[in-house]
Amino acid sequence: MRVSNNSVQTFKRCRRMWELTYKYNLKPVSIAPALETGLTYHDKVESIVKTGDFKRDCDPKTNAMALAFQKYIYPKLRERFDPEVWFEYKTRGGNTVVGRYDGVGETFILEHKTTSGKVDGAYWTALELDEQVLTYMMTSGKRKCFYTVCQRPTIRMSKNETVEDFQERCVRWFDTDTDSKIGYQVLTHAPEEIHMFEAELDKMCQEIEHCDNFYRNTNHCMRWGRPCEFMPICRHYDPSKTYIGFERRE
């Protein structure tokens, strides 16, 4: 079976969501604001690690986030690495895992994330259980992950404030209590943990492949305080029909 970390995690969160996304290949036409911010920030960070700088646009928050990355994180990336590397890995159980690293060095992998909350001890503790990191270590053979995270600014633009002034205020926002807004950790896992994770992944692939009951996880319908993007079609989807607001994924 051919899977990605996203597809496996989607199946774990909600089988109905997995069915709509990976069996029927559907995706919402509009992107959630948080996801759009993450993608824009990621593109700007990619430019920074490739060229040392990025092109400013009309999005003051992601400009400020990228500038914070450039100031507080980029100088710490001293080892050489290749950015944006695609991978394909065959597990011991014969399944194929595909995906893309944000960066790969001689001894480490690199991952960039954004978050809506503070970058505090609770965030880093939860990261120890992050299966994306385990997936990257398994597929790359590396046992070290340089993981960066940036909080999305929580301040809002004032009524009479210009975009330029708001961007500058967002930049200054990162200069106060910086460690709780942007930072990095070097994560490691023992080989035994990676082997155990690979065995669990192969079992999960079998479960996905033979699943015939794609039930909803109603605890996920309002995750992070907003409705799931598939909620409008979740209960009554008919593959023979076309639905406004959704399109086929490539």
> Which CATH number fits the domain that encloses residue 43?
3.90.320.10
The whole-model pTM stands at 0.88
Shared domain check, 147 and 56: yes
Alpha-carbon 221 to chain mean position: 19
- CA dist 187 and 183 (Å) reads 13
How many structural domains does the chain have? 2
Asked if residue 206 belongs to a domain, the reply is no
Asked if residue 208 belongs to a domain, the reply is no
Shared domain check, 185 and 123: yes
Asked if residue 178 belongs to a domain, the reply is yes
Shared domain check, 120 and 101: yes
Asked if residue 10 belongs to a domain, the reply is yes
DSSP secondary structure code for residue 20 in this structure = I
Token pair 């999305």: residue:
152
> Which pLDDT tens digits describe the chain residue by residue (250 residues)?
999 999 999 999 999 999 999 999 999 998 888 889 999 999 999 999 989 999 999 999 999 999 999 999 999 887 888 989 999 999 999 999 999 999 999 999 999 999 999 999 999 998 888 899 999 999 999 999 999 999 999 999 998 899 999 999 999 999 999 999 999 999 999 999 999 999 999 999 999 999 999 999 999 898 777 889 999 999 899 999 999 999 998 7
Domain that holds residue 24: 1-30+216-250
